[in-house]
Amino acid sequence: MCRFLAYRGEPIFLTDLVCAPSHSLVHQSLHAAEAKTETNGDGFGIGWYGERQVPGTYREVRPAWSDENLRSLCDQVRSGLFFAHVRASTGTATTRANCHPFAHGRHLFMHNGQIGGYSRIKRRIEALIPDDLYETRHGTTDSEAIFLLAIANGLATDPVDAMARTLKQVRVLMVEAGIAEALKFTAAVTDGENLWAYRWSCDGNPPTLYFREAGGNLLVVSEPIDDKTKGWREVPKGCGLVARAGSETRVQCLNEAMAQLAA
Amino acid sequence: MCRFLAYRGEPIFLTDLVCAPSHSLVHQSLHAAEAKTETNGDGFGIGWYGERQVPGTYREVRPAWSDENLRSLCDQVRSGLFFAHVRASTGTATTRANCHPFAHGRHLFMHNGQIGGYSRIKRRIEALIPDDLYETRHGTTDSEAIFLLAIANGLATDPVDAMARTLKQVRVLMVEAGIAEALKFTAAVTDGENLWAYRWSCDGNPPTLYFREAGGNLLVVSEPIDDKTKGWREVPKGCGLVARAGSETRVQCLNEAMAQLAA
Amino acid sequence: MCRFLAYRGEPIFLTDLVCAPSHSLVHQSLHAAEAKTETNGDGFGIGWYGERQVPGTYREVRPAWSDENLRSLCDQVRSGLFFAHVRASTGTATTRANCHPFAHGRHLFMHNGQIGGYSRIKRRIEALIPDDLYETRHGTTDSEAIFLLAIANGLATDPVDAMARTLKQVRVLMVEAGIAEALKFTAAVTDGENLWAYRWSCDGNPPTLYFREAGGNLLVVSEPIDDKTKGWREVPKGCGLVARAGSETRVQCLNEAMAQLAA
Amino acid sequence: MCRFLAYRGEPIFLTDLVCAPSHSLVHQSLHAAEAKTETNGDGFGIGWYGERQVPGTYREVRPAWSDENLRSLCDQVRSGLFFAHVRASTGTATTRANCHPFAHGRHLFMHNGQIGGYSRIKRRIEALIPDDLYETRHGTTDSEAIFLLAIANGLATDPVDAMARTLKQVRVLMVEAGIAEALKFTAAVTDGENLWAYRWSCDGNPPTLYFREAGGNLLVVSEPIDDKTKGWREVPKGCGLVARAGSETRVQCLNEAMAQLAA
């Protein structure tokens, strides 16, 4: 599994969240507290929005805790919307192209979880991705495949519905293949303006997800980066977070969206 | 494009061919003489047979010319059958999984060339690979896809026919997609005992391939690693090399094999 | 040897100089035209000033031409003062800590050249560096040693004199050790506001150095990044460039400064 | 701190000790049980003796647990004398040259521990290394410095005395500099034939060290690689292990050797 962090609000230096806090994401790369694995050392990545419409990314195969470049970048880059992710591989290779966040056009996506039995249905999932999107697949992870499939399913228009459709499609393939392991999906996506997060698993036991709001700034994390009592709220299992610019952040039920699709 | 070297014969230290000669493969990584690109710095790899049935491999994303590990390994490992490859990417990422040689069971494969317009037909090529082989695809290159497809086409039984079938299949997809760029295929494959090499291109202009035999030792190279006058023979365009253990090395026409398939 | 580029002026995206031009620094990493070595693939680095007093740096061991992170960073980061460097090692290992530019406090430094016979006098050079500066030596190159020694010699106060003293000190050690190879020193340094460049060699044959001024923007390069006729001026051998903020850029004789020291 | 393993005996595949056991060294890279740090992910290395007098080495900056090359090498290489090490940095950079084991001529050396306050006396330690040995210093660690200094002190002739002298010299510098942190030194060295190991600390609290002998095969480890009840013996604090080819392995007091020096 992995640990991640998403921020939207007043522009701040990335280091203020990624490196500085007592239980920062970099600290979690060595000592995650609520993850299946304590060590998240199979690469990492950051993605941020600056002056361009498309985000910048820095992804690297080395552990986050010892990366001098990460420290320097987080110290220099100030952004009002950024993602950061430390990876614990669930089987795919440690390459830059397999590190999160994944960027596509204006979108960033990152994932904590996995498609159970992925290697057995990898190509069937890939077959669902349209040609023009498949050309942009640079890595081999389940996470990137989900992202591209979600784009095909309308991520740009309705991110909750698109992700519900995507998870349904993947589940169908899993069931067909008789896969017993779970589909676990705690994730975040942004179009550079709005932010969505998800916490869902087919076995009702998705990885943790928290958020905190203060003064119009939203922070979404796998686990609190400081004192757990300081205003953190847990995203309920089976739910998503919708944080549209200019609107209140609200929790939306992903299970419901998926049920409606089934109807 | 790339440069490669294959050896079968009396066990020797890899360094004798990979590092020591005046125009060794490591030298070619910086100064290839007959390649489309002089620099082959997008990763490298070696594969060799020792005491195990399956080969060992060492593949790395850094340039061969500065890799201390490569030097040390080539200095230590003695083998009667090994492959070495320095890579110049034709578009895919520089990851270990994209470096040659590729290993599958007892087989090693390496390639110099490319599938023209690969990104447009990548998935259609992948769709031809059977599920159980697709599971073993670790990278994203055209070369690895050709290798796995060739295995599906009977590489273990008849490597010339299997490769002819594979190239035909790829050509069909290229023509269907209206791809103008060429399919270039200079390559080598071994099962740990026998060795085959190929020099073919759909435009009649494949990358160079040479071989030299002396005292029962066979050396196959992209370009001579020493004085060009020293016994090197060029593999004719459209042909392959068949070096079965205990038999004479012979040149076999790949064009012919492909024509027979068409019939 | 290496290739580098320094810019001071109106804030621009790094990509405008590092990646985009026809003969950009990234292009020079594969195809340098005026360098001793055409390939500069032994790592690279960028350093830039943003909102902080200290510069940001991104240094990596892989070749610049295939680095996705470099492309993304250069696309995102806009700066009014930045350095970029592609490395061709003269013997020291390919590690991040050996890649240029080197940062120390507010200063950035990069170098094209070498201390002849460096390994024989390495420690004697290091012995000249004060303790508190030696603690900040992270790599093993001659270039970093020169930089730290120059800081000790007053780089912050008088960069021409400090560098003259430094080169003199190194030359004394070289002569004492009977080293015949040259000390070659084409380099650039900045304190985040002002910029100095040097072109000096003890054998009168230093690596090339050019600059171009337009609309108050200064660009200093190892070799022109576009049409050589477009306003480039060569820095004369044995000279330095002094570009103080708010003053005219002027050429200052380094030979003279060194001669005065001798007197 | 770090974890390591040394083997001398009947030639075996490295994988039998490095990868296969339930608590193998690769497993310890993620889950060390008796180390100060559970994660040892700041690079790793193996060194082994084959047909050459000098050992082969493979050192890499990535964590051992995900390194495909390490797995393949350990699977192929069979040796009667080899070292393996997973690193947890105590401050120096994660570069290949800083990974253990270090090789010099016929010798291999690896270390678990640190010189307290190293950065403050780094150069003074380096000043003790003779010129011709200093030329072969490729990294920046305290461990490599100790190794080179020990060679200067007669490691090839009397490894116990040489190491005692070395530790004494370092201690003198530490005391002079008023350093309060400890000098911790659990280490192993070999000349390709004989093997020595050490467990010493100036505060009487050195990292753990165990060994096991069976059928003439000797295994020395930071912590047992399988069931702790299976014949493991702890090397007492302040002692060393001497395993000369053809002689009984015996424990020798390092404290005593150091005391004699003082006399």
Q: Which residue has the tokens 């990422």?
A: B93
Q: Which residues pair with D138 in a beta bridge?
A: none
CB contact under 8 A, B57 and D69: yes
State which residue of chain D sits closest to A62, comparing Cα positions.
D62
| Count of beta carbons in the 10 Å neighbourhood of residue A168 | 14
Query: Is the predicted pLDDT of residue C228 greater than 80, yes or no?
Result: no
| Residue D77 contacts residue D48 (beta carbons within 8 Å) | yes
pLDDT at residue A120 above 60? Answer: yes
**CA distances for D185 relative to D94, D182, D239, angstroms:** 20, 9, 11
> Is residue B171 pLDDT above 60, yes or no?
yes
Q: Do C68 and B39 touch (CB under 8 A)?
A: no
| D246 C-beta neighbours (distance < 10 Å), count | 6
How much helix, strand and coil, in percent to the nearest 5, is found in chain D? 30, 30, 40
Contact D205, D170 (CB under 8 A): no
CB contact under 8 A, B66 and C38: no
- Tens of pLDDT along B239-248? 999 999 988 9
Interface test with C, best of D89, D123, D140, D148 (most C CBs within 10 A): D123
Tell me the C-alpha distance between A145 and A133, whole Å.
10
Joined tokens for residue A44: 């990492």
CB B63 within 8 A of CB B44: yes
| Cα-based torsion angle of the residue sequence D144, D148, D149, D153 in order, rounded to the nearest 10 degrees | 140
Average pLDDT over residues A133-161: 96
Which residues of chain A make contact with D94, given a CB cutoff of 8 A?
62, 66
Length of chain B: 263
The closest alpha carbon to A168, from A178, A183, A155, A156, belongs to A183
**Distance between CA atoms of D239 and D211, rounded to whole angstroms?**
13
Residue D114 pairs with which residues in a beta bridge?
D184
The Cα–Cα gap between B139 and C57 comes to 31
Has residue B101 got a pLDDT over 90?
A: yes
Position A263 scores a pLDDT of 56
> What is the rounded average pLDDT for all residues in chain A?
94
Q: What is the pLDDT of residues D119-155, one digit of tens each?
A: 999 999 999 999 899 999 999 999 999 999 999 999 9
Chains with 3 or more CB pairs under 8 A to chain D: A, B, C
Quote the tokens at residue B244.
């079965």
Instruction: List chain C residues with CB under 8 Å of D137.
Output: 140
Confidence of residue B253 (pLDDT cuts 50, 70, 90): confident
Q: What is the mean pLDDT of chain B?
A: 94
Give the separation between CA D263 and CA D261, rounded to whole angstroms.
5
Q: Provide the pLDDT for residue A40.
A: 93
Q: What percent of chain A has pLDDT over 70?
A: 98
Q: What is the pLDDT of residue B257?
A: 82
Question: Prior bond to A101 cis, omega within 30?
Answer: yes
Percent of chain B whose predicted confidence (pLDDT) is above 90: 86
pLDDT tens per residue, range A167-213:
999 999 999 999 999 999 999 999 999 999 999 999 999 999 999 99
Residue C72 to residue A51, Cβ atoms within 8 A:
no
C-beta separation of D188 from D196 below 8 A: yes
Displacement of CA B181 from its chain's centroid (Å): 20
Taken in order A189, A190, A191, A192, the sign of the CA dihedral is negative
Cα separation, D50 vs C246, whole angstroms: 65
Instruction: Evaluate whether B212 touches B230 at the Cβ level (below 8 Å).
Output: yes
Question: Which one, of C30, C46, C45, C38, lies nearest residue C1 by Cα?
Answer: C38
Q: Nearest CA to D166 among D184, D182, D148?
A: D148
Over pLDDT 70: what percentage of chain B? 98
Residue A158 tokens, joined: 């309705």
- With 0-12 / 13-18 / 19 or more C-beta atoms within 10 angstroms meaning exposed / middle / buried, residue B226 is middle
Question: How much is the average pLDDT of B31-44?
Answer: 89
**A225-to-A16, A232, D81 alpha-carbon distances in Å:** 11, 10, 46
- A134: nearest CB among B123, B129, B137: B123
Nearest-CA distance D57 → chain B (Å): 6
Tens-place pLDDT, residues C80-136: 999 999 999 988 899 999 999 999 999 999 999 999 999 999 999 999 999 899 999
**In this predicted model, what pLDDT tens digit does every residue of A212-232 receive, in sequence order?**
999 899 999 999 998 867 899
* SS3 state at D56: strand
Residue showing tokens 């005219």:
C248
Scored b (16 or more CB within 10 A) or e, C210-231 reads bbbeeeeebbbbbbbbbeeeee
CB contact under 8 A, D120 and C135: yes
Q: Which of C54-68, C221-235, D217-231 has the highest average model confidence (pLDDT)?
A: C54-68
Q: What ranges make up the beta strands (E) of B49-91? A: 56-60, 78-87
B38-89 pLDDT, tens digit per residue, is 899 999 999 999 999 999 999 999 999 999 999 999 999 999 999 999 999 9
pLDDT of residue A257: 82
CA-CA distance, B221 to B257, in Å (whole number)? 23
Q: Which residue shows structure tokens 């003969």? A: C23
Q: What percent of chain A has pLDDT over 90?
A: 86
The answer on pLDDT for A236 being more than 70 is yes
Element (H, E) at C32: none
CB contact under 8 A, D93 and C93: no
Residue written as token pair 């559970």? D38
CATH of range A3-262; options 3.60.20.10, 3.40.640.10, 3.40.920.10, 3.40.50.720:
3.60.20.10
Please report, in angstroms and rounded to a whole number, the separation of the first and last CA atoms in chain A. 32
Write the single-letter amino acid at A80: G
> Are residues D137 and D98 in contact, defined by beta-carbon separation less than 8 angstroms?
no
* Distance (Å) from the alpha carbon of D115 to chain C's nearest alpha carbon: 14
Cross-strand pairs, A86: A3, A44
Chains interfacing with B (3 or more CB pairs < 8 Å):
A, C, D
pLDDT score of B263 more than 80: no
Side-chain half-sphere exposure of B32, counting CA atoms within 13 A: 26
Rounded to the nearest angstrom, the minimum Cα separation between B133 and chain A is 10
Please state the φ and ψ torsions of residue D35, each to the nearest 5 degrees.
Answer: -95, 160
> Which stretch of A9-13, A75-79, C229-233 has the lowest confidence by average pLDDT?
C229-233
Q: What is the DSSP letter of B207?
A: P
Average pLDDT over residues B218-231: 89
Using an 8 Å CB-CB cutoff, list chain D residues near C134.
122-123
Helix or strand or coil: residue B187? strand
Q: Can you give the pLDDT at residue C27?
A: 92
Cβ-contact A26, A79 below 8 angstroms? no
E-strand stretches of chain C: 2-13, 44-48, 56-60, 78-87, 102-104, 107-115, 183-190, 195-201, 210-214, 217-221, 233-234, 239-243, 250-253
Supply the DSSP string of C100-155, one letter for each residue. SPEEETTEEEEEEEEETTHHHHHHHHHTTS-HHHHTT--S--HHHHHHHHHHHTTT
Pairing of strands C44-48, C56-60: antiparallel
Closest CA to C121 of C197, C54, C60, C180: C180
List the one residue out of C66, C256, C232 whose CA is nearest residue C160: C256
Is the pLDDT assigned to residue A115 strictly greater than 80?
A: yes
Phi-psi region of B161 (alpha: psi -120 to 50; beta: other; left: phi over 0): alpha
Q: Would you state the pLDDT for residue B262? A: 63
Q: Output the 3-class SS for chain A.
A: CCEEEEEEEEEEECHHHHCCCCCCHHHHHHHCCCCCCCCCCCCEEEEECCCCCCCEEEEECCCHHHCHHHHHHHHHCEEEEEEEEECCCCCCCCCHHHCCCEEECCEEEEEEEEECCHHHHHHHHHCCCCHHHHCCCCCCCHHHHHHHHHHHCCCCCCHHHHHHHHHHHHHHHHHHCCCCCCEEEEEEEECCCCEEEEEEECCCCCCCCEEEEECCEEEEECCCCCCCCCCCEECCCCEEEEECCCCCCEEEEHHHHHHHHHC
Of C39, C68, C93, the CB nearest to B30: C39
Phi-psi region of B180 (alpha: psi -120 to 50; beta: other; left: phi over 0): alpha
Superfamily of domain C2-262: Aminohydrolase, N-terminal nucleophile (Ntn) domain (3.60.20.10)
Identify the H or E element spanning B243.
strand B239-243
Mutate to test the interface with B, among D69, D77, D83, D99 (most CBs of B within 10 A): D69
Distance from CA of A51 to the nearest CA of D (A): 33
Measured between CB atoms, which of D59, D72, D78 is closest to B58?
Answer: D72
At A262 the pLDDT is 63
Could you list the mean pLDDT of each consecutive 10-residue stretch along chain D, which spans 263 residues?
Answer: 94 97 92 87 97 98 96 98 95 94 98 95 94 93 98 96 96 97 97 97 96 94 87 94 92 84 66
State which of A28-37, B30-39, D66-75 shows the largest mean pLDDT: D66-75
What DSSP designation does D247 have? S
CA distances from B100 to B5, B65, B103, D71 (A): 11, 16, 9, 17
What ipTM did this prediction achieve?
0.94
Give, to the nearest 10 degrees, the angle between helix B159-176 and helix B142-152: 120
Separation between Cα atoms, residue B162 and residue B8, nearest integer Å: 22
Contact A97 B127 (CB under 8 A): no
List of residues 6+ apart from B256 with CB closer than 8 A: none
